[in-house]
Amino acid sequence: MDARRLLDSLFTVTVTLLALAAVLPIFHIILYITVKGLPVVMEAGIDFFTEIPPSPIRTTELGGIAPALAGTLFMTTVATLLSVPIAVLAAVFSAEYPNHSLTRVVRATTRSLLEVPTIVIGIVVFALLVQPFGRFTALAGAVALAIVMIPYVYTYTELALLSVPRTYIEAGYGIGLKRAQVIYMITAGVARRGIARGVTVAIAKAMGETAPLLFTAFGARNMIFGGPLEPSDAITLMIYVFIQSPFEHWHKIAWGAAFVLLVLYLALFLISRRLVKEVRL
């Protein structure tokens, strides 16, 4: 074997080992959470999804995560409905008018939001929506999560729209389509995989947030869901509280909740990839 082939083989082996080293921690986390959490879910059965958590002194019943699951689904859904239209429309404007002064402001603002700690967003929403009304609410939590989601949806959507070949857009105008029709039928159609990826990443980011919810939703575990204007629990909030407690049965519930959150993540990404087909140019 000559020196060139030896170097090529050495490079291939090195890149393969580095790739394995990069993904190994991810698989380790998935495996560890599954080993710790799946037996808890299997032990509790369907009650794990329909019952409230037990009090610290009740060690005979495992209970469930129904309040946290309901709160997470509600706040994430509302945050998605609030953030996606705003972010997508802003990204469309930025892609269509890249040199507009408003585009520069929007880009600077969204890039800044990506760097802002989410706990700061929670404090701001606390000052605007919690303190004036004197109560924590699920709606305030959803607003905080929506602010967290906007820069992710905007960034992915803008990049996807800008990647559409200009010839496709010019062809749309050439056959008599209006600007709105070109954006909807051609630009957004070709870029739909990238847009869906941005929405998926943003939803996953919102589902995994804890800090903003400490100042907005706060947590309520004595009922499954009290309504949008009442305090609400979330899976991440419950894990944060339970894993720090000295009670062993709360630790078990926290591991089970972590496994449920992991399954929600994986299902979210798999479903998004199945529903949105890639457009090959």
Residue 93 included in any domain: yes
Residue 168 included in any domain: yes
The pLDDT assigned to 214 comes to 92
The pLDDT assigned to 22 comes to 87
Residue 39 included in any domain: no
Residue 243 included in any domain: no
Residue 63 included in any domain: no
The pLDDT assigned to 118 comes to 93
Q: How far apart are CA 199 and CA 269, in angstroms?
A: 10
Residue 229 included in any domain: yes
**Domain range spanning residue 126?**
71-235
Residue 103 included in any domain: yes
For residue 58, the tally of other CB atoms under 10 A from its CB is 12
Residue 135 included in any domain: yes
CATH code for the domain in which residue 220 is found: 1.10.3720.10
pTM: 0.89
Domain tally, the chain: 1
Residues 6+ apart with CB under 8 A from 259: 33, 34, 36, 37, 38, 40, 41
The pLDDT assigned to 1 comes to 55
Per-residue pLDDT of the chain (281 residues; tens, 9 = 90+): 577 788 888 888 889 888 888 889 889 999 999 999 999 999 988 999 999 988 877 666 788 899 999 999 999 999 999 999 999 999 999 988 888 889 999 998 998 888 899 999 999 999 999 999 999 999 999 999 999 999 999 999 999 998 888 888 888 888 888 888 888 888 888 888 889 889 999 999 999 999 999 999 988 888 888 889 999 999 999 999 999 988 888 999 999 999 999 999 999 888 887 776 655 55
The pLDDT assigned to 200 comes to 92
The pLDDT assigned to 115 comes to 87
